[in-house]
Structure 1
Amino acid sequence: MKKSGQKKRNKKVWFGIGAAVVVVGFIGAKTVFSSKEVEPEYTTYTITEMASLKLDGQVSFLDTRDIFFDPSLGKIAEINVENGKEVKKDSPLLTYNNSDIQATETEQANAVNRNNLQVQQAQENVNLATQKYNEALNKVAAAKQKLNTAKEAEEKETLNAEIQQLNEAVSAANSEVAQANQALQLANSDAVGAANTLEQTRGKVNTVVTAPIDGQVTVDASAMSSTDKPVIKIATQKKNIQGKVTEYDYDKLQTGEEVTVTTVGSGKSAPGKIVSIAQTPIAKNEGNPVVSYQFTVEGDFPWAEGLSTSIAVPQKQMIIPTAAIQKEGQKEFVYVYKAGKAKKTPIETETNLGRKVVKSGLNWKDQVIANPNKELKDNQDVQVAAND
């Protein structure tokens, strides 16, 4: 009887264990199937601004001019400005004196005097010729008056012969007047030419060099007779930033774009604007084959010339993964994830440096399905995993 009861108890135990195994197996299977059901099939990509492009730059004066000694103007007789002073455009900087031209000036002044004497002589000749001509005319008039009152034939014949000779004298006197006037014109022309030449020469004896721009001057008196370094350097008080961009980032810059400039040493920042981008590359360094271009940033930069800076250029292009874009014919669209649904959204894009840039159709912070497939439909309920 005891063995029979023990067998019954053993059966109950094994039955309980089996039931527990079945329950555990059912729960495990349900968990496995449930995890497969809730596993997201799609991932999303959030449209956010890219990190700013960081480029190197250097503080530079907005405009600088170097004034070198010019031997062709003679010797520098005077420096008309003081070191460190502000000057305005067209203010006198240097005065030259040319002793060689001064000797030429003396010769030309003598030539002018000679020409003036020739003009005076020519004018006197004109006056004499004119007087002679007028006297001849008066004699002809007097002879004609006598002819009108003459009664005898012999007297008339004599007067006619005299008038003929007087007319010839008038003609000769008239020619002399013409020649004298021509000589006077030539003498005047020579005198004017000589005077102009003298004036030009005098302008070269003492030459004043003026400031080409407003700015502060730096004077180096030791360079007054040297062409290797400037006698005067003028620098505007305004400064700009000369930046450098490689060929890989060249298309990411635009004139008029707002940037932030930060000094490398002190970390001081100031806003600026790109005003020009060179189209001619900077000369390559032997150790760096990458092509680079210079660009200029203007702003209020109260820092010392030559300081190194970092230029932060915002990248406002809206970039999306190429895999997120679907096509219907020539039209492009993406699925925007919103409120648990995939919304089919038409877009327009362009390719820039191998990246897809959205021109229209999306907004910042939109979430697009990054890995759509053919089964995905408009307004479909979806579960997603973020993949920003």
Structure 2
Amino acid sequence: MTALRFDLGKTPGNDDVPRAAAPDALRALTAAAAGAGAAWTRLGDTLLVTGAPAQLERTAAGRTPAERIEVPAARLHLVIQNGRQFQQAHPEVPVLVDRGRFLVVDLDPAEAGRFVEPSERHVPCFGVRPLPANTVVFEQRSPAPTPASAPTQTRAAAEPLVASVSRDAFAADLRTLAEFRTRHSTSTEFRTALDWAEGVLRGLGFATRTQMVVLHGGSTQNLIAERPGHGGDGGAVLVTAHLDSINSRDGAAAPAPGADDNGSGAAGVLAIARALRDHPGARDLRLILFGGEEQGLFGSRHYVAELDHQARERIHAVVNMDMIASRNTPAPTVLLEGATVSQAVLEELAAAAQAHTGLTVQTSLMPFNSDHVPFLDAGIPAVLTIEGADGANDRIHTAGDTLEHVDHDLALEILRMNVAYLVQALGSA
């Protein structure tokens, strides 16, 4: 025996109850593991404790583990995946803990290097690393008992704008994007979609420009739209998403409607533009649709690389949206993914979710493979807002990522959370 699995937040017989382990139970169990000389790794309400048999027995004293795992600790690996991409590519690898985006698998450490998905067509859709010790991979928080947890003044200022987020307009924009045969970054359809989005943003009063991005011997584009702030500290708040789609199974010429990945995030940028078009924020509001995300975050990496030191320092926060419209959990859930530099932004988004929505919130400080990563690598506070992780979407990067699988109400809740946070982040003139 090298690992014990404890499931601390489940409600027997009721799968619809959001799972969030009691803090006291978590603290007691992690303290028991540390006192016994064992290591622990937390994935939501699941705690995996690893160590020698005697250490595990001391940890488990008076407690009943959900499972005893007879796998050498060196073989335990953490997988972070987009959708079900790792499992689809490697069904032969045993999965010990399955939390959708996050897996614990049994893998020979000498073989781990081969799970890298070499490809010139698209970025690897999963990462594999040794199981981190004494680490929270992601945390799950229950919805607030009432929507009144935010300060009254802050909530009152945001509420009309939160309420103005239009389900119908979002659905219409998403339909337009998903009707393109593909939005592959180098395709003519991508450029047509980008031109259409630019027209929408210009019509809403935003100044727009495009940015050329070199991509695998060809090129794609970023679309940047901006509305200046009215005073304040000269800072800027960015709202981003990637516009491109991909069919990684059948190639660049194959159908790739990309309704969830990432028509939902791109349509979300337009929905936020509509909601905040007349909001007199103190900071600049900058909206960006990236190209080349699916090939390796080319658009966002290029954008960040082009920023000088002063421009980077002006960025107060980045809210990135990627896959916000597929329901993967019984309760509507959002995953907020950032890093230490963006901890404050993550907490403020979580507070906005609790004050203005019924979302269950998952949080993670292990960023992976979306357009928030280049900002974080540059020390810029950024958070990915993405659909909850427990039962990851298995249709992405295929012709099956279509509108019939979209949950507009989940997307609307995530957009309301983002708008509530953005009102706070932009400040008042």
Q: Which has the larger radius of gyration?
A: 1
What's the TM-score bracket when you normalise by the shorter of the two chains? under 0.3
Pick 1 or 2: higher relative contact order, CA cutoff 8 A, min separation 6: 1
- TM-score normalised by L of structure 2: 0.17
Task: Return the structure number with greater strand share.
Answer: 1
Normalising by structure 1, report the TM-score. Answer: 0.18
Is the helix fraction higher in 1 or 2? 1
